[in-house]
Amino acid sequence: MDRYESEDRADTFIPHAFQERTIELGEVRLNYVRVGNPNKPALLLIPGQTESWWGYEAALPMLAEHFEVFAVDLRGQGRSSWTPGRYTIDNMGSDLVRFIDLVIRRPTIVSGLSSGGVISAWLSAYAKPGQIIAAHYEDPPLFGSERKDPEFMATDGSPFALWNKYLGDQWQIGDWSGMKAAAPRELFPWLARFILIPDEPSQNMKEYDPEWGRATCEGTLMGGCDHARMLSRVKVPVLFTHHFNGVEPATGREMGAISAANAQRARELLIGTGNRFDYQLHPSMGHSMHAQDPALFSRTLIEWSAALRAR
């Protein structure tokens, strides 16, 4: 069984509090939820790698009071299609351009976490004119996730390498217990302290194609997406929330999704576009603000969006 479409993995999924829908986009079928009033501003939420739309589930009721919210499963995650050999930021960004055209059908604010934050940046630079009106980058691995970058994070020692090595493309290996046993010795020491692997596969990992991890490690995920070029072409106001980061004293290795130096580099490029740029540092926040503190995440987006409209 190929297990590329959600009906081929029907026994994988569990029910959630919001109605799930699908849209055919050609190569992929995207799964999503839609909540809130269509008379409110449109907000598109883009999860990070290994995360399905329901990673935002706790934040959705708060956001729905102020936005019409669309939360998606990217290709290779959740109930959306798995697309072997086709996991690139450019493809995922193009999926969402079509999604906005066919489903949202009006100017949209975007917010993405991690790899989803890079896709948020991609949309803020490369979406069709008028599609995106503002973009939130939630702790995005800008520059550090490019293969050419000296701080490239997706090498042996990263969770991406671990997932693909022990689970395999499309879960063809599926050695969860082997992965759990190997994690303390194969992950970077600082990551091994933070990443706790349960005895059984977690729901979000069941819904994830680990080929995403291989694409990250091999550099094909970012492929032709040069981050400096992308950021220099951003056309809308940006909110950048930067979370836990630093340097591990014992090894000198950067900790966190994006280093202070790369955040500053992004900041300079974004200010250079002439668009409004807001930077918030949350050093005590883990990688996902919307999972760790849904209320803070929601309040941050609501207040920032209101300030943009007032201006």
Domain region containing 101: 6-149+227-310
Whether residue 282 is contained in a domain is answered as yes
Going by C-alpha positions, the residue among 141, 140, 255, 142 that lies closest to residue 188 is: 255
What's the pLDDT tens digit per position in 27-45?
A: 999 999 999 999 999 999 9
Whether residue 288 is contained in a domain is answered as yes
Whether residue 236 is contained in a domain is answered as yes
Whether residue 233 is contained in a domain is answered as yes
Going by C-alpha positions, the residue among 80, 71, 109, 68 that lies closest to residue 6 is: 80
Going by C-alpha positions, the residue among 134, 141, 127, 124 that lies closest to residue 234 is: 124
Whether residue 204 is contained in a domain is answered as no
Residue 48 clears pLDDT 90, i.e. is over it? yes
Torsion angle, alpha carbons of 126, 132, 137, 141, to 10: -20
Going by C-alpha positions, the residue among 264, 296, 241 that lies closest to residue 120 is: 241
pLDDT score, position 92: 98
Residue 154 clears pLDDT 50, i.e. is over it? no
Average pLDDT over residues 204-209: 98
pLDDT score, position 236: 98
Whether residue 62 is contained in a domain is answered as yes
pLDDT score, position 194: 84
Average pLDDT over residues 263-277: 98
Residue 147 clears pLDDT 80, i.e. is over it? no
If you average pLDDT over every residue of the chain, what do you get?
A: 94
Model confidence band, residue 249 (pLDDT cutoffs 50, 70, 90):
confident
The C-alpha angle 10, 217, 204, rounded to 5 degrees, equals 25
- Evaluate whether 179 touches 167 at the Cβ level (below 8 Å): yes
Residue 1 clears pLDDT 50, i.e. is over it? no
Distance of CA 256 to the CA centre of its chain: 15
- Evaluate whether 253 touches 208 at the Cβ level (below 8 Å): no
Whether residue 161 is contained in a domain is answered as no
d(CA 214, CA 221): 9
d(CA 302, CA 290): 13
d(CA 29, CA 13): 16
Residue 153 clears pLDDT 90, i.e. is over it? no
pLDDT score, position 160: 92
Directed axis angle between helix 211-218 and helix 159-167, to 10°? 130
pLDDT score, position 148: 63
Whether residue 304 is contained in a domain is answered as yes
d(CA 169, CA 299): 38
Torsion angle, alpha carbons of 85, 88, 90, 93, to 10: 110
> Structurally, how many domains does the chain consist of?
1
Q: What is the CATH number of the domain that holds 81?
A: 3.40.50.1820
Please state whether beta strands 108-113 and 68-73 pair in parallel, antiparallel, or not at all (unpaired).
unpaired
